[in-house]
Amino acid sequence: MGLMEGKTAVVLGAASKDNMGQTIARLFAREGATVLVSGRHEEPLAALADEIGGHYALCDITKRADVQSLARTAAEKMGRVDAAINCSGWGLLASMLDTTEEQLDQITDLQFKGVHHFLQAFVQVMKDQDPQGGSLISLSSATTKALINNHAAYIGTKTGSEALIRCVANDFGQYGIKANTVSPAFTESPMTSDAFGTPGLVDAFLPKYPLGRLNTSEDVAEACLWLCSDRAFVTGQNIQPNGGVTLRGNPQAVDIEAAVGAAMAKAEQES
């Protein structure tokens, strides 16, 4: 029997092929859950729902009405919501001095206000269903503990979302609702494919991981699975399935520049 046998789950942010949200959805389905996947693009959502025998619904997390509708639709289609996971995010890499007001508004809408919309909608569903309870997760980032340069707006909004999770855990635990944050580090995914193609970039990060490798999307999915299962008596926590990078800290801009420069120089010598 799977860890989520007979349970239901919503995964928001699963509308890009093979992204972290899709990896989580597939694992939950394999572990017995009925899964509703959501995001802004219908074609990949419909394909994934068909693949895992689940459901899909369109939703823009920055729009409160969309998220409220998603929570209602999930409860109507699946009977209840046992787990809801928010995987949305935008890895804005920009100096604080160069960040525009438009960018700041966009990332705040997505990574702070959007998380508030998500928690508000699904707390209400989980509080009202019978029996009450469920598990809420919002993905954050190891960078809120292991700072990296030129990431202030990203880190600031992700840190704010972590505070929202703790407040939900404190205020609504009495209804059997668990709320936790899961924080990946530098992860290969469709969103980071260009970065991973930069020679030497991974070399700058690897020494910072005590367990000797970067985390994968599968590592993150497994952490989410455990937190949403009945085995996890955990709430209000920031789980770090990232190989220990918070112990040593992320590389800084000067370290990255040196590693990339060394790799490029080596490639030139060998060509």
Per-residue pLDDT, averaged over 43-53, amounts to: 98
60-74, 129-143, 256-270: least confidently modelled range = 256-270
| DSSP character string of 10-73 | EEES--STT-HHHHHHHHHHHTT-EEEEEES-HHHHHHHHHHHT-EEEE--TT-HHHHHHHHHH
- The superfamily CATH assigns to domain 8-192+213-248 is NAD(P)-binding Rossmann-like Domain (3.40.50.720)
| DSSP character string of 112-151 | IIHHHHHHHHHHHHHHHSSS--EEEEEE--GGGTS--TT-
The proportion of the chain whose per-residue pLDDT surpasses 70, expressed as a percent, equals 97
pLDDT band of residue 108 (cuts 50, 70, 90) is very high
Per-residue pLDDT, averaged over 134-162, amounts to: 97
| Contact present, 179 and 168 (Cβ < 8 Å) | yes
Per-residue pLDDT, averaged over 141-157, amounts to: 97
Per-residue pLDDT, averaged over 24-45, amounts to: 98
| DSSP character string of 155-206 | HHHHHHHHHHHHHHHHHHGGGTEEEEEE---S--SGGGHHHHTSTTHHHHHG
pLDDT score recorded for residue 195: 63
Q: Which of 157, 162, 159 is nearest to 137 (CA)?
A: 162
Rounded mean pLDDT of the chain? 94
Provide the whole-model pTM.
0.94
Mode of pairing for the β-strands spanning 177-182 and 238-239: parallel
> Is residue 182's pLDDT more than 80?
yes
What's the chain's length in residues? 271
- In the block, residue with structure tokens 């992860």: 187
> Is residue 197's pLDDT more than 80?
no
Per-residue pLDDT, averaged over 134-138, amounts to: 98
Number of other residues whose CB lies within 10 A of the CB of residue 267: 11
> Is residue 142's pLDDT more than 70?
yes
Q: What is the C-alpha R_g of the chain?
A: 19
> Is residue 266's pLDDT more than 80?
no
| Contact present, 165 and 216 (Cβ < 8 Å) | no
